């Protein structure tokens, strides 16, 4: 199974190390439910107003 998660990087701008913390936490949560899943977490800039 492949799971791809996208988070809005604007929410963590300016917080040192936030990207890696979010990636690790989301991966951990997916692996609790789907232990064999291949997980990809990537930031997204969001839509422009």
3-state secondary structure 19-31: HHHHHHHHHHHHH
Nearest alpha-carbon partner for 5 in 15, 31, 13:
31
Q: What is the DSSP letter of 11?
A: G
pLDDT per position as a tens digit, 16-45: 998 899 999 999 999 999 999 999 998 887
| Position 49 pLDDT exceeds 90 | no
User: 27 versus 9: which is more confidently predicted?
Assistant: 27
- Full domain range(s) for residue 35: 16-48
Q: 23 near 41, Cβ under 8 Å? A: yes
The per-residue pLDDT for 43 is 87
Indicate whether 6 belongs to any domain: no
Indicate whether 8 belongs to any domain: no
Indicate whether 2 belongs to any domain: no
Total domains present in the chain: 1
The per-residue pLDDT for 38 is 95
Indicate whether 9 belongs to any domain: no
Indicate whether 5 belongs to any domain: no
The per-residue pLDDT for 47 is 67
């Amino acid at each position: 199974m492949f799971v791809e998660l996208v988070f809005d990087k604007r929410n963590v701008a300016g917080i040192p190390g936030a990207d890696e913390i979010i990636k690790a936490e989301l991966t951990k949560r997916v692996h609790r439910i789907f232990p064999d899943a291949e997980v990809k977490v990537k930031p997204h800039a969001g839509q422009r107003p």
